[in-house]
Structure 1
Amino acid sequence: MRHARLLTAASSFALLLHGAPALAQDAATRMPQDDAFEADDSDDAAIVVTAPRGSVAGDIPPEEVLDSRDILATGATSVAELLDALSPQIGSGRGRGGRGGGGRPIILIEGKRVSGWRELRDLPTEAIERVDILPEEVAVQYGYAADQRVVNFVLREAFNSTGIELEGEFATRGGRMGGEIELDRLMIRNGTRTTFAFEAEAKSALTEDERDVLIQPVEAFPDPVDPRPYRTLLPATEDYQLNVSHSRPLGEKSLTATLGLDQSTSRSRFGAPIASFDIPAASPFADPPGEEGEVSRLVAGDALGRSRRSRTAELATALNGGGDWRWSTTGSINVANSRTRSDRGPDVDAFQLGLDALDPSFDPFGSLTLGDYPQDISRSRSVRGEVDGLVSGQLGETGAGPIGLSLRSQLTWSNFQSEGTTFGIADPDSDLTRRRLLGRATIDLPVLDRDSAIGQLSFNANGVAESLSDFGELFSYGAGVNWRPTRKLSFLASFDREEGSPSLTQLGEARVVEPLVSFFDFTNGETVLVDAITGGNPDLVADTREVLKISGNWQLPTKDDLRLTAEYITERIDNPIGSFPAASAALEAAFPDRFFRDGDGTLVGVDLTPVNYARQSRDSLRWGLSWGKTLETKPPSAETRAKLRERFRQMRQERQRERAQQQPQGEGPPTPPQPQAEGQQQAEREGPPQGQQRRRGGRGPGGFIGRGRNGGRLGVNIFHTVNFSNEVEIAEGLPLLDYLDGEAVGRFGGTPRHEIEARAFRYNNGLGLRLSADWRSATTVDSAAGPIRFDDYAKFDLRLWYNLAEKPGLIADNPWMRGMRVRVGIDNIFDARPKVTAADGSVPFTYQPAYLEPEGRTISLSIRKLIVPRRFIRDEIRRRTGR
């Protein structure tokens, strides 16, 4: 019996470290199961109506539920990495920006709204007990638009850890290196959660001469200049992030406050410092004498550069309350400022005056010292404050279930200011302020329950009214139907009509002129260097979009976990906001004032600030399969179990000595634990009677495992997107632009007809592997010189890791390795680069592989140490084993 208790304690100890039941597999197989998760999956089985702890409100079930072992199998160490690993499952085809345009999914903690992304971004994955992935329609119940999936995190009831991670990476082709350090501290106990996280990351610049970029020499005296060392493909960057979050219960309520500070800097090069002079005919330096001339020289000094710096400070709060009606209030204030400095090139004015004055001391062929480069400077500052309230509950009952209602209101105040100088002339200042008041109501009406002839059926509807100080009133509405014929098969259909305004940055971001930008002119079929104008456009108007979605989710009746999901989305947009991804003839015909050409018709400048097109339509189908199975985990050897018993015996003796030292003088020795009755010992050895299960979650080591399924994980997720149409009408009377056939949507050509996202993983006995693959089909873009083909492109990434905590023999001999993990990452395994060819078989200069995929294959190595205080381990073992 003593050995069984020691093994139980060992299991709890391992679970505290990594949420992994590998140290005592023979004992873990007898752990009690959670009947809320482990009920029979067959349609005829009894239905468990009690939702697991921390579930999301409403009748729409999760599309997928991940337990602690599933989470470990991703290899992620933080919530940010976990969401990246789950990108195929949580991607959305709805929202602004097309597939995945909804952006980051809506995040909940235990069914409650959070103060913001910063609150849980850096949480270690070991602290997560379960993850629920839900469809976009659940977002409506929390007062959001139905264009983002919902991810609900259920954390462990108690956790205490300090983590440190070091990572270094380099490109196998050379020229690019980086490093990162992360520190985090997490404490969870009695409903109180405190998080501290700091992250610093730096990467070196990558210049054109460090890749196989073709040389385009710049004419200069005495020899042409190779500009590649003076231009960067990727800038040098430095990023710092600090987040502090605290959450605590206030009676039946919970309050969270989060503070975040960020700073990012980047430094890039965009050209050689070339100075050009006009030589008068009378100058002693005229060659031939008596004739005017011109000379260009490479000036000693740094390359022409651009530096950017941005700083952000944010304070956010969330107050959640329960009862018959759930309610929450969130508030935040965000202050951000940015500054950009761009060199204009050597200042030749003073030297040119000396040449014009025929001063022989101004020798254009001698040594040149021209001083600092003049700069264009732009600055911007934004302040945003927001208060948001949500109330949700039940209006009443129908024969099929409760009628749900959620009401949300939001008040936002934003201010955006920008200023700058170009060629020494002050740009017009921008000072924009917006006050936004939003109200949203959602109702969920059950019609049929699960026992009906066709299964469970419910309807929902929502309406939104917005008042913007600079745009007036905007209105949106939507409706949906949720049909669940069986427990394993569900369908969702929804329609939304939304009016949306441009953001303040789209309206008023500082206009910046970037010189010497490589640009492909599709009208002339050539690559040119242009002055590119970026920034905001104050003349933008609101867009209106209508979205119809039909989706299905089917858990197939197989031995392993196999799930099929599909969603068809059709979208129509009036006045969509877009930019100029390429200088196509159609775009230039519609917006001739955005393209600047010299007398020879050569493109010399492009205004890339956003504009409103007339209308756009998109249709796509996204479907995928998710398959997974449990692997048998090898139990520890008899020798390892003996070492663990001895280790825990020493820990118990140490604890007894501490108690004895803390005991006041005059008191007797501590009372030894009372022996159990023979019947009780027999019951513990045999476990619960046949046909019964002890409920998990509060007591026993099983409460640390989520679903109670032990062992490793093997799985594959693969999703295929078929884009049926993507057309834009620039203006009334102009031909449609077909991004699937002939029009460029970005630097990788048009919209691919087919896209595939795939993730495969295997994790067992502490060893993990995750392979990621992304593929897009070929596209063709029309140009004056003939069609340009963008070949299909596939990219593979690999993660390999080793959790030392799941190697009990290694830990028993080397206790200092407890909580360590080593990971090797290989991005772009095959060093793949996009291939672009013109009609004559040549590669357009702008579309060289090094421009489209400059970094290539990169290899990273990270070492992470998770430290769990010994006192916390002892307390948790005592609490969970009842000793």
Structure 2
Amino acid sequence: MIGQKRHGRLIGCTILLLSGGGAMAQHRQSASADPIVVNGRKQLGETQPLRHFDADELRAMGITSIKDMMERLGAQLKGADGANPVYAINGRRPLDDEEVQSLPFDAIQSFDLLPQEAAAGLGYSPNQPVLNFTTKAKFQGFETMANGQTSTDGGGGSADGRFAATRLRGKTRFTLTATWLRQNELRQDRRSIRPDPSLPFDSVGNVTALGGGEIDPQLSALADNPVTIAAVPRDPAARRELDAYLPGANRPNVTDPGAYRSLQPRQRTMKIAGFFSQPISERTTAALSLSAERQRSWSLQGLGTASLLVPAGNISSPFANDIWLNRYVNEADPLTQSGSIWTLHAGLGFVGAFGGWNWSLRLNHDRKHNQNDSELGFDMAGVQDAIMQGGDAFAPFAADQIGVAIRDRSRSIVTTNDAQLILNGTVLTLPAGPVAVTTTFNAQRSRSDSQSRAFPDADSLLGRSQGGSSLALSIPIASAADNILPFLGRLSADVSGGVNAVSRYGPLYTAHASLIWTPVRRVQLLATLKHAETAPTLDQLGAPRIATPNTPFVDLVSGESLFVTSVFGGNPGLSAEKRRTLTLTANIQPLRTDAFRASLFYEEARLYDQAATLSVLTPAIAAAFPDRFVRDAAGQLTSVDLRPLNLHRERQRTVKASLSFSGPIGPKPAKPPEGQPPKMTYLHASLTPALRLEDRLLLSPGATPLDLLDGDNIVASGGRPRWDVQGDLGLYRNGIGMFVQSVYHSGSRARSPIETADLRFASLGTTALTLYANMEQLWPKAGWAKKLMIDATIRNVANARPQVRDRRGDTPIGQQPAYLDPLGRVVSLRIFKRF
């Protein structure tokens, strides 16, 4: 009874919190007029924004979420080195990502793009730009989104949706969100993919010799050349005659397994999240974040296979020698793989100030439960016994002779608890300005428990404790505005250092030094040196081993593209990674308006013991990691270990430029009615080319260096493209808009003396087109159009797919275009409604 009363009070409070339809309508009408909240702005110091965006401008562009904003303004929001921005809300660091992503766009008054030196004041790494969102003082509303998409080639469709309810009153905020995704399976037979003729398996069968040589000398004599594989005759009455195998000599039967293999799994995802913040004193605010997500997937992995020994004396065999009968087990269901992932998160945070210092405390608990069930094949001992006892080897398999599916069941549970305390303030004031200091203390305890039926020796129970601290200083050196060394303009330095003690890996160090110089207005030059040591994640160390049969793989040692059993999971032997980088950046605003920006960036990076997954086999990889690849007696690759491993050393040099314009064009429009976006023409355009100057990799000590820009590669997609170019163009006017985004990657090469392993990867360019309409602006008097937005998108407009050719001009089986990009062109329709 008491529990029922408590539940009743909780439900009643929730309803009361989300109620108030009349008041909510009133808040909608005065949305643009709401005052803003600038909580904690001092935590960011006196940093001047690089760009200021008004929320009305973004709504005029058809942007409905922070995700939309990142997609459409990405070139302007990223750092010069391509780093994604970090977030701040009202000048403070958010508790977690959910606090940001669940923030309704209508609750945002404006946002500022701040330079990377502002990141240190929030406890972030001081090499990322900061997006600071300023929220409205009062907001209450609901929003829903529904999206559906499908490929124009057919199949692979999906649908997703979102519901969110938010109430915002100053520093008090409550948000409840629910999201879902339903993705359909896409089978291989829906695409133009030819089967692999090198596979010996077929629904009727093929015969091969035990040692990989000729099957029968008499059959070779009839064929006038050695016969190493022969098709089983489709006529059962002819299978006991040797000459019936002559038409199929060295011409095996081939079955297309496309109907039994998924290119894209069926997936179902549901997530519920809530966020609540509330002042608990005059200068302290507490926040609570809770979320739960479940993801389920299911896919077909092809037909089971059987290689059965048929002795020479078997009554159904016309051969003088023992042979292998290679068949698909098409009498049984296809092999399947299924998985489920539960993710739980709880976060508790406090933000406050005392004595001129700002502080924040963040406590998080995360738990991830991952379970997989893979069918690897069937127990064919019953069929083999029947053949050895004189049964017809070529007859269809009896259902009672096929054993149960051989399964690999694996599961892992990863639990993490962490705490972080950040203190930020001013320690002293120099003539050029105050010296800001940020001190961060962190502690974490993690545990990983993984088990696998197929690999019981790899079961692991890992625990990790880590703790550390860091100190960051922002030091002003010169300031023309304050007449301190005015000939230098504005000059400052950011320095930071930290240590993190990780169990098993010992102390790991980070260091950073930046010099930021603004010699004249609208020109900024930056030079940065960074050193970082990072331990591998528990998932990289202890994820359960999962074996997946019938996966396409490229063997550049033999020049074959074939299907193998791939093993995924963690590697407990990984070492910590070290990374040292030098970056030089120039940011220029050549016009009086902030709408146009130009950047030039150079980076030189050295990586030591980086954790990576090798998805291709080359002679260099085979020499460095021979135990990762298994071949059968005939020398054909059968199994590959794709767990992460450490690469000894890599050096990269990159130069990148960025040009962008985003802002209204034409005469300034009249002020719109309250709650309505302005009637204006808005243009967004950007161009971001990147050129890789060098990318050399040493797989292991003493190995020959690989040039990933000139024919060497470690992934199935080829070497690294020398050029990457992205261009965006958006035009928006009075509720109707268009956005075009194009991406280009130059071609690459995988060099080999073997014709079939000497591959060329063609350059690839794709374009996405989005058309949107703000129905409220088009039909302002229609009730149904109120707060309604519709957009339609075509991704990969030209239906372009990766193209791979060997020296003879042929496409390897495992690198057919539809394997590399199963969906191709995708069309989607999204409806967004606010209440």
Q: TM-score over 0.5 for the alignment?
A: yes
Number of the residue aligned with 2:219: none
Select between 495-504 and 742-751 the one with higher mean Cα deviation. 742-751
Aligned mates of 2:259, 2:370 — CA distance in 1: 27
Q: Which amino acid aligns with 2:388?
A: D
Select between 164-173 and 363-372 the one with higher mean Cα deviation. 363-372
Task: State the SS of the aligned residue for 1:113.
Answer: coil
Number of the residue aligned with 1:715: 684
1:156 aligns with 2:133: no
Number of the residue aligned with 2:770: 799
Aligned mates of 1:818, 1:142 — CA distance in 2: 39
Aligned mates of 2:647, 2:529 — CA distance in 1: 23
Work out whether residues 279 and 356 of structure 1, in 8 Å CA contact, stay in contact via their aligned partners in 2.
yes
1:623 aligns with 2:657: yes
Number of the residue aligned with 2:750: 781
State how 1:563-642 maps to structure 2 within 5 Å: 563-631=597-665
1:214 aligns with 2:194: yes
1:406 aligns with 2:386: no
Change (3 A) 1:14 1:450: farther
1:72 aligns with 2:40: no
1:475 Cα shift? 1.7
1:841 aligns with 2:809: yes
1:633 Cα shift? 8.8
Number of the residue aligned with 1:142: 122
Change (3 A) 1:297 1:735: closer
Q: 1:421 aligns with which of 453, 475, 478?
A: 453
Aligned mates of 2:457, 2:540 — CA distance in 1: 17
State how 1:296-445 maps to structure 2 within 5 Å: 296-323=327-354, 324-358=356-390, 364-365=395-396, 367-368=398-399, 370=402, 372-422=404-454, 426-445=456-475
Q: Which amino acid aligns with 2:753?
A: A
Work out whether residues 563 and 626 of structure 1, in 8 Å CA contact, stay in contact via their aligned partners in 2.
yes
Deviations 1:354-406 (A, max 9, x none): 4434578x994365353642211111110000110000000111111111111
Change (3 A) 1:53 1:535: closer
Unmatched tracts of structure 2, length 5 or more? 1-23, 205-233, 235-252
Number of the residue aligned with 2:833: 865
Work out whether residues 790 and 830 of structure 2, in 8 Å CA contact, stay in contact via their aligned partners in 1.
yes
Aligned mates of 2:622, 2:322 — CA distance in 1: 41
Aligned mates of 1:565, 1:52 — CA distance in 2: 31
Change (3 A) 1:711 1:569: same
Q: Which amino acid aligns with 2:202?
A: E
Number of the residue aligned with 1:236: 266
1:476 aligns with 2:516: no
Number of the residue aligned with 2:216: none
Change (3 A) 1:486 1:599: same
Q: Which amino acid aligns with 2:803?
A: K
Select between 292-301 and 229-238 the one with higher mean Cα deviation. 292-301
1:186 aligns with 2:166: yes
Work out whether residues 80 and 599 of structure 2, in 8 Å CA contact, stay in contact via their aligned partners in 1.
no
State how 1:20-39 maps to structure 2 within 5 Å: none
1:517 Cα shift? 1.9
Change (3 A) 1:281 1:197: same
TM-score between both structures, scaled by the size of structure 2: 0.84
Deviations 1:765-814 (A, max 9, x none): 1112211111111111112325311111111112211112223xx232x2
Q: 1:514 aligns with which of 548, 552, 560?
A: 548
Deviations 1:161-200 (A, max 9, x none): 1111221111101022111121111111232111111011
1:518 Cα shift? 1.3
Change (3 A) 1:769 1:127: farther
Task: State the SS of the aligned residue for 1:318.
Answer: strand
Higher relative contact order (Cα pairs below 8 Å, separated by 6+ residues): 1
1:83 aligns with 2:83: no
Number of the residue aligned with 1:665: none
Q: Which amino acid aligns with 1:216?
A: D
Aligned mates of 2:618, 2:439 — CA distance in 1: 46
Q: Which amino acid aligns with 1:747?
A: A
Q: 1:200 aligns with which of 174, 180, 183?
A: 180
Deviations 1:311-337 (A, max 9, x none): 100001221113511110111000001
1:55 Cα shift? 7.4
Aligned mates of 1:374, 1:735 — CA distance in 2: 41
Aligned mates of 2:723, 2:729 — CA distance in 1: 20
Task: State the SS of the aligned residue for 1:345.
Answer: strand
What is the alpha-carbon root mean square deviation over aligned residues?
3.0
State how 1:433-832 maps to structure 2 within 5 Å: 433-451=463-481, 452-558=486-592, 561-631=595-665, 711-786=680-755, 787-807=758-778, 810-812=779-781, 814-832=782-800
Change (3 A) 1:499 1:224: closer
Q: Which amino acid aligns with 1:65?
A: H
Change (3 A) 1:484 1:515: same
Work out whether residues 681 and 732 of structure 2, in 8 Å CA contact, stay in contact via their aligned partners in 1.
yes
Change (3 A) 1:751 1:168: same
Aligned mates of 1:291, 1:546 — CA distance in 2: 60
Q: Which amino acid aligns with 2:340?
A: R
Count of residue pairs brought into register by the alignment:
753
Number of the residue aligned with 2:309: 278
Task: State the SS of the aligned residue for 1:506.
Answer: helix
Work out whether residues 563 and 814 of structure 2, in 8 Å CA contact, stay in contact via their aligned partners in 1.
no
Aligned mates of 2:649, 2:321 — CA distance in 1: 62
Work out whether residues 610 and 646 of structure 2, in 8 Å CA contact, stay in contact via their aligned partners in 1.
yes
Change (3 A) 1:291 1:112: closer
Select between 843-852 and 297-306 the one with higher mean Cα deviation. 297-306
1:292 Cα shift? 6.6
Change (3 A) 1:764 1:127: farther
Change (3 A) 1:337 1:595: same
1:745 Cα shift? 4.2
Aligned mates of 1:378, 1:263 — CA distance in 2: 17
Deviations 1:707-738 (A, max 9, x none): xx873421112211111111111223222111
Q: Which amino acid aligns with 2:722?
A: R
Unmatched tracts of structure 1, length 5 or more? 1-11, 21-30, 37-49, 95-99, 645-700, 868-883
Task: State the SS of the aligned residue for 1:72.
Answer: helix
Select between 856-865 and 65-74 the one with higher mean Cα deviation. 65-74
Change (3 A) 1:372 1:392: same
1:109 Cα shift? 0.8
Aligned mates of 1:19, 1:236 — CA distance in 2: 41
Deviations 1:46-103 (A, max 9, x none): xxxx999957614543333322134225533222332233333344576xxxxx5x6x
Aligned mates of 2:615, 2:322 — CA distance in 1: 45
Select between 319-328 and 379-388 the one with higher mean Cα deviation. 319-328
1:286 Cα shift? 4.7
Q: Which amino acid aligns with 2:366?
A: N
1:255 Cα shift? 1.4
Deviations 1:640-681 (A, max 9, x none): x9xx9xxxxxxxxxxxxxxxxxxxxxxxxxxxxxxxxxxxxx
Work out whether residues 40 and 91 of structure 2, in 8 Å CA contact, stay in contact via their aligned partners in 1.
no
Task: State the SS of the aligned residue for 1:811.
Answer: coil
Work out whether residues 742 and 780 of structure 1, in 8 Å CA contact, stay in contact via their aligned partners in 2.
yes
Work out whether residues 309 and 384 of structure 2, in 8 Å CA contact, stay in contact via their aligned partners in 1.
yes
Q: Which amino acid aligns with 2:700?
A: A
Work out whether residues 491 and 518 of structure 2, in 8 Å CA contact, stay in contact via their aligned partners in 1.
yes
Change (3 A) 1:399 1:175: same
Task: State the SS of the aligned residue for 1:112.
Answer: coil
Task: State the SS of the aligned residue for 2:377.
Answer: coil
Aligned mates of 1:733, 1:232 — CA distance in 2: 41
